[in-house]
Structure formats: C-alpha cells, structure tokens
Structure 1
Amino acid sequence: MGFLIWLIIGGIVGWLASLVMRTDGQQGMLLNVVVGIVGAFLGGWLISPLVGVGTINSGNISIGSIVVSLVGAIILLAIVNLFRRGRVR
C-alpha cells in the first residue's frame, strides 16, 4: 500500500511542479510521476539538510515533505528546461 501512495503523491508533486513551470502540456501522467519522484530525490539531497525535513521518498508523508519534494521537482524541471530551451522560463 505504501508503494501506491508513494506513486500517487509523486504524481501529484510532479503535476504541481509542471503547472508551476508551465510544462504541463508536454508531459503525461507517467512523466509527472517520474518528475515527482526524481524531484523528491533531488530535494532530499539539496534542500532537506537545510530545513531538516524529509521527502516523500523517506516514507513519512507530511506537508513539509511534500513542499521539499515539490521544490526539488521544480528545480529538476528548471534544469531540464535550461538544457532543452536554453532558458529556465
């Protein structure tokens, strides 16, 4: 059951990040899940030590972990946009 919740929350985080970065029309549901989960890893590596909150990948789902994962997903999409288009947007 935890794996299913992890995928659902990862998809929501990826979808919210794609809305913020205006890439929602280019991504499908699967890519939103991938962006959410990879963004959570990135957020856990960069942001989590600064604020002391885990991510959705650490197993505890809270508002703080969703925000850290969302910021990580936004950073991931900004990096992808930078390489694909030459600008962050």
Structure 2
Amino acid sequence: MIWSLIVGAVIGAIAGAITNRGESMGWISNIIAGLIGSAIGQALLGQWGPSLAGMALIPSIIGAIVLVLIVSWFTSRTNK
C-alpha cells in the first residue's frame, strides 16, 4: 500500500514535470494523479514495459500526463 502511494507520487511528479504543471500541484495531487493516471493508462494501453508496485510505468506515466493536461485545462477555464 505504501509502496503504491510512493510510486503513484513519483508518476504524478513526472507527469507534472513533463507538462510544466507540477509546480502548482502538491504531493497529495501528485499521488492522486499518479494513481488515477496509472489506472487510466493501463486500462487504455495495457500492461507493457517495466513494472513497479503492480503498475506498468510507461502506460502509467502516459495516463497521468493525459490526466494532468485534462484537469489543468478544466481548471484554467474555470479561473478565467
């Protein structure tokens, strides 16, 4: 359980760094983005590539990037 949270936080931080939206996200948001993005990425792309804590890393990072972009798009539209 703890290992999954740590891996989820790392995946969320990588997604935030790639999208340049990681500065505004806290650690809780990184964990949530990593875990939900991992589920989305693995559901859409499957379980290929290296795996850590039961999460396929490449599909998980891709799913988290998509999730961060979608959430940041919605939050930027509501702030205007």
Shorter-chain-normalised TM-score: which range?
Answer: 0.7 to 0.9
Check if 1:46 corresponds to 2:44.
yes
**Which residue number corresponds to residue 16 of structure 1?**
14
Alpha-carbon distance in structure 2 between the residues aligned to 1:33 and 1:18: 11
1:25 aligns with one of 4, 23, 26: 23
**CA displacement, residues 43-86 of structure 1 (integer Å, 9 cap, x when unaligned):** 022111xxx52896xx535xxx1111000000101111222235
Count of aligned pairs: 77
Q: TM-score under structure 2 normalisation?
A: 0.81
Q: Which amino acid aligns with 2:59?
A: V
Correspondence for 1:66 among 51, 57, 64: 57
Q: Which amino acid aligns with 2:54?
A: N
Q: Identify the structure with the greater strand proportion.
A: 2
- Distance verdict in 2 for CA 1:37–1:47, change over 3 Å: same
Name structure 1 gaps, 5 residues minimum: none
Tell me the percent identity. Answer: 26
The residue type equivalent to 1:69 in the other structure is S
Q: Structure 2: any 5+ residue segments left out of the alignment?
A: none
Residues 16 and 70 in structure 1, CA contact (< 8 A), matched pair in contact too: yes
TM-score of the superposed pair, with normalisation by structure 1: 0.74
CA RMSD of aligned residues (A): 2.3
